[in-house]
Structures are given as structure tokens and as C-alpha cells.
Amino acid sequence: MPAGTWRDGKQGRTAGSGNKDRGANHRYGGNSGDQADDALNSAERLRRLKRLSMIARLMDTAVGIPGTRLRFGADSVFGLIPIVGDAGGALVGLYMVNEARRMGVPPEKLVRMLGNIAADAVVGAVPVAGDIFDVFFKSHRRNLDVVLDHFGLDQQDLRRPR
């Protein structure tokens, strides 16, 4: 198959053309120039971002302490279980990094996301101090912000009905 040709034979952008959604376009066999494909990719990206937002909320800010502005999530609770809890939180974080990679987030931002996960896992593994750290260092929320920033969105954009 010639360069720039998709599975269905349509001509499209080549892999080096800078198309952020080229993985999604290739998977659906469409031409990235078609408006219908762009709308599909935009809807798919929004669906994935909303899912990542829900995961970040569950892991970092699901429960609020009444009378305070303090919120924590499953990552803080799992962190109370030595070694296994922090590893579980890191695995969820790696899932988020993989989704970001699949959506076309550049490598330097993926490395930053991995650094957030590593800091959360390493410091979180320290007994007592790590558990307190987990409540305040919200790595999943930080990683979601990196992804949203890449696409020029914020949390409010994910809450709007489309």
C-alpha cells in the first residue's frame, strides 16, 4: 500500500503530518480530512476525556470532609494498605498515561505524567507520612490537567452537554 493510504484505500495524511488523532483515524479506516471523521474523532476524544476525568475524581477527590475544603479519594484509602495500595494507584495512573498516549499527547507531557505517578507511588509508600502526602498530592488530577491542557480544554468543558 502506498504511503498515505489507509486500509480502505482512501488517501489521507501520512504518519508524520502532525495529525494528533492519526491513531483514531487509522483505526476507523477514515480520511482525517472528512468532516464526519473529524466529528467522530472529536466525540471519541471527548468520551475518553470524560472517562479519565471520572477516574481522576474517583482516585483523588471523591469524598469531601464536611466543614473543610479537604477532599480525598480511593488512592488515599488504598494507600493505607502497605505496598499493594500504592501499586494499585500507580497502575490506575499508568492506564491514564496510556490513554493519553493513544490520544496523541506528546512524549514530554507523558514523561511529566509518569513523574507525577512515580512521586505519588514512592512518597506514598512511606508509612504515615506517605498517607498524609496522598491526601494532598493528587497525581491523577494533575495528570488529567496535563491532558486537558494539551487539548486546550478545562474541567468545565467536560461538564457541558454536547
- Check whether residue 9 and residue 70 sit in a common domain: no
d(CA 79, CA 104): 30
Task: Read off the C-alpha cell for 82.
Answer: 502497605
- Check whether residue 56 and residue 21 sit in a common domain: no
* pLDDT computed for residue 6 by the predictor: 45
- Check whether residue 100 and residue 58 sit in a common domain: yes
Amino acid at 58: L
| Threshold 0.85, pTM exceeds | no
* pLDDT computed for residue 15 by the predictor: 42
- Measured at the alpha carbon of residue 126, what is the angle toward residues 92 and 143, in degrees to the nearest 5? 30
- Check whether residue 54 and residue 13 sit in a common domain: no
Tally of structural domains, the chain: 2
* Contact (Cβ atoms closer than 8 angstroms) between residue 87 and residue 121: yes
- Check whether residue 25 and residue 80 sit in a common domain: no
**39: in domain:** no
d(CA 43, CA 9): 24
Which structural domain range is residue 86 located in?
46-159
- Check whether residue 129 and residue 71 sit in a common domain: yes
What does pLDDT average to in each consecutive run of 10 residues of the chain (162 residues)? 47 43 44 57 91 96 93 92 89 97 96 97 91 92 96 86 60
**144: in domain:** yes
**96: in domain:** yes
- Check whether residue 121 and residue 143 sit in a common domain: yes
**40: in domain:** no
- Check whether residue 152 and residue 73 sit in a common domain: yes
Task: Read off the C-alpha cell for 66.
Answer: 464536611
- Check whether residue 22 and residue 95 sit in a common domain: no
